[in-house]
A and B are shown apart, each in its own frame.
Chain A
Amino acid sequence: MIQFTIEDRDGERQTLEIPEGINLSLMEVLKASDYNILATCGGMALCATCHVQVLEGFDALPPARDAELDMLDTLPDADPDSRLACQLRVDESLEGGIFKIRGEEQ
């Protein structure tokens, strides 16, 4: 199992346990877990509405690709530790990470 923690907009934290080998993005897991997250473009790194801030475990993540960085650059509130949840695959790189939801609400 892969464990990571989600902090919602109210600061509430919840640890999620996801089976290894599952072919989902963090955005898809957040939606499936009923977090209020828009994810407008469905995972194409085109809308930035699944913006998350990586509070812990940023360095373990695979580097962002150009499409993700381009979109993050359009966000007025992005930080150096910002990522798009749709571009993060749920695998061992997320283990132990803490992700704060920053994207727009539905």
Chain B
Amino acid sequence: MITTDICIIGAGPVGLFAVFEAGLLKMRCHLIDALPQVGGQLSEIYPQKPIYDIPGYPAINAQQLVDNLMEQIEPFHPTFTLGERVETLVRQADESFVITTNDGTSVHCQVVVIAGGLGCFEPRKPEILNLEQFEGKGVAYMVKNPEQLRDRRVVLAGGGDSALDWTVFLADVAKEVTLVHRSDSFRGAPDSAEKVFDLAKEGRINLVLQSNITSIHGNGHLQEVSITAKDKSVTNLAADNLIPLFGLTPKLGPIADWGLNIDKSAILVDTTDYSTNVERIYAIGDINTYPGKLKLILCGFHEAALMCQSAFRYVYPNQKLSFKYTTVNGIPTF
């Protein structure tokens, strides 16, 4: 089991900066993020976009900000669990917590800080009859191991870059590849779209345009998809695997079941220290809400600083905290 002072859920910019503020107070941090890399929205959604409201930077590229934050917290040697989603939170007899992820990683900590931004990014699910019934039984929302699709009849749905790229890739792997798209054109990368059209012309993939998958069927495992065209005609197609690729959408996930006060997918906090209604659990950044809340990175940084001042009493219950500027003390590394 990993043991730390503060377990931060979410490795976006606010979660990363919280490591720095915690480090100044000699509190160690472990970060957990469902995404496979640090940076949160910045790295996942808009890494190349410039940000203009970070103090001291007239403009900074989102990924550069993440890289800088990683450099800034390096002296405090935070540890990370990436690509895993927090599932359970169990309070211990001494009021500390044990957090467990979906992959079974356990973290013991004195304080939990939720810096989950928009929440976990989960696949956007289309409205297909029986879809969830076949999840893990032929239906998946991402391709983790293409070899598992070798020599199988694969149906992909979607019109973005992921759908195009996987269609091209799987044309050489699967026994049969069908791409279903609601439109008759693709907005994805022109090169990828051209490849898909070429593969269809060569008869190496099936391209079903102006159509949607409306229902799926099988006996314990996916066997058939029903495709409805714009003219309402329905075609049934034998399939072993269905991969809907419609991007990601944020969800609060299991955190919603932790007894926290929640308003419209955001966690209510006390603005004196960004604590939640559950003692020793704080929420900072875009995931919290309070009167006047602004979803800005710089506001999250401020929240991280105040949170750490408050969390100190749980990590060091017998010590008195006296605030000191970094200009006085420098960076007291571990």
Q: Does B118 contact A (CB under 8 A)?
A: yes
CA distance A42 to B51 in the complex (A): 13
Say which one of A6-14, A45-53, A86-94 lies at the interface with B.
A45-53
Contacts of B183 in A (CB 8 A): 73
Tell me, in angstroms, the Cα distance from A71 to B46 when the chains sit together. Answer: 13
Q: Is the CB of A46 within 8 A of B45?
A: yes
The answer on a CB contact under 8 Å between A70 and B212 is: no
Q: Which residue of B lies closest to A44 (CB)?
A: B46
Q: Is B78 an interface residue (CB 8 A)?
A: no
Which residue of chain B has its CB nearest to the CB of A71? B247
Tell whether, in the assembled complex, residue B118 and residue A40 are in contact, meaning their CB atoms are under 8 Å apart: yes
Instruction: Give residues 25-74 of A contacting B (CB, 8 Å).
Output: 38, 40-42, 44, 46-49, 66, 69-74
Is A76 close to B, CB under 8 A?
Answer: yes
Contacts A44-B49, A49-B249 known; A77 to B127 CB distance under 8 Å?
Answer: yes
Main secondary structure of the interface of A (DSSP, over half): loop
Query: Is A23 an interface position by the 8 A CB rule?
Result: no
Q: Which A-chain residue is minimally distant from B213 (CB atoms)?
A: A76
Instruction: Name the CB-closest residue of A to B245.
Output: A74
Residues of A75-106 whose CB lies within 8 A of B: 75-78, 104, 106
- Kindly report which residue of chain A lies nearest to residue B247, judged by CB atoms: A74
Measured CA separation A49–B127 after assembly (Å): 16
> Known: A40-B118, A40-B250, A106-B264. Is A74-B46 also a contact (CB below 8 A)?
no
B126: chain A residues at CB < 8 Å are 76-77
In the bound complex, what is the Cα–Cα distance between A48 and B126 (angstroms)? 14
Question: In the complex the two chains form, what is the Cα distance from A68 to B5 in whole Å?
Answer: 43
Instruction: Report A-chain residues with C-beta under 8 Å of the C-beta of B16.
Output: none
CB proximity of B117 to chain A, nearest CB, Å: 10
Tell me whether B127 and A73 are in contact (CB under 8 A).
no
Q: A74 to B246, Cβ gap below 8 A?
A: yes
Stretch at the interface among B92-100, B153-161, B271-279, B312-320: B153-161
B175 part of interface (Cβ distance < 8 Å): no
- Given the complex of chains A and B, what is the CA–CA distance between A74 and B246 in angstroms? 5
Question: B106 an interface residue at 8 Å Cβ cutoff?
Answer: no
Complex Cα distance, B125 from A78, in Å, reads 13
Whether B218 is near chain A, meaning CB under 8 Å from some CB there, is no
Q: What CA separation (Å) do A98 and B58 show in the bound complex?
A: 40
B124 close to chain A: CB less than 8 A: yes
Query: A75–B124 Cα gap in the complex (Å)?
Result: 8
Per-position binary interface string of chain B over residues 43-62, scored 1 when its CB falls under 8 Å from any chain A CB and 0 otherwise? 00110010000000000000
B182 proximity list for chain A (CB < 8 A) = 76, 78
Contacts of A74 in B (CB 8 A): 124, 158-160, 246-247
Is there contact, CB below 8 Å, between A42 and B295? yes
A73 and B160 within 8 A (CB): yes
Residue-wise, chain B 34-49 has the 8 Å CB interface mask toward A (1 for contact) of 0000000100011001
In Å, the complex CA distance between A7 and B45 comes to: 30
* Chain A CB within 8 A of B76 CB: no
Measured CB to CB, the closest approach of chain A to B263, in angstroms, equals 9
- Flag whether B138 is at the interface (Cβ < 8 A): no
Residues from chain B with Cβ under 8 Å of A49 in the complex: 249
Q: Is the CB of A75 within 8 A of B46?
A: no
List, in ascending order, chain A residues with CB within 8 A of B293's CB: none
Q: How far is the CA of A47 from the CA of B118 in the complex (A)?
A: 11
With A69-B187, A73-B183 given, is the CB distance from A46 to B46 under 8 Å? yes
Decide if B265 is an interface residue (CB 8 Å cutoff).
yes
The 8 closest A-B pairs by CB, nearest first: A76-B126, A74-B247, A73-B187, A106-B264, A74-B160, A73-B159, A76-B246, A69-B187
B interface residues, Cβ below 8 angstroms from A: 41, 45-46, 49, 118, 124-127, 157-160, 182-183, 186-188, 212, 244, 246-247, 249-250, 264-265, 295
| 13 further interface pairs, Cβ-Cβ under 8 Å (given A48-B247, A76-B212) | A40-B249, A44-B46, A44-B49, A46-B45, A70-B187, A73-B159, A73-B160, A73-B186, A74-B124, A75-B124, A76-B127, A76-B244, A76-B246
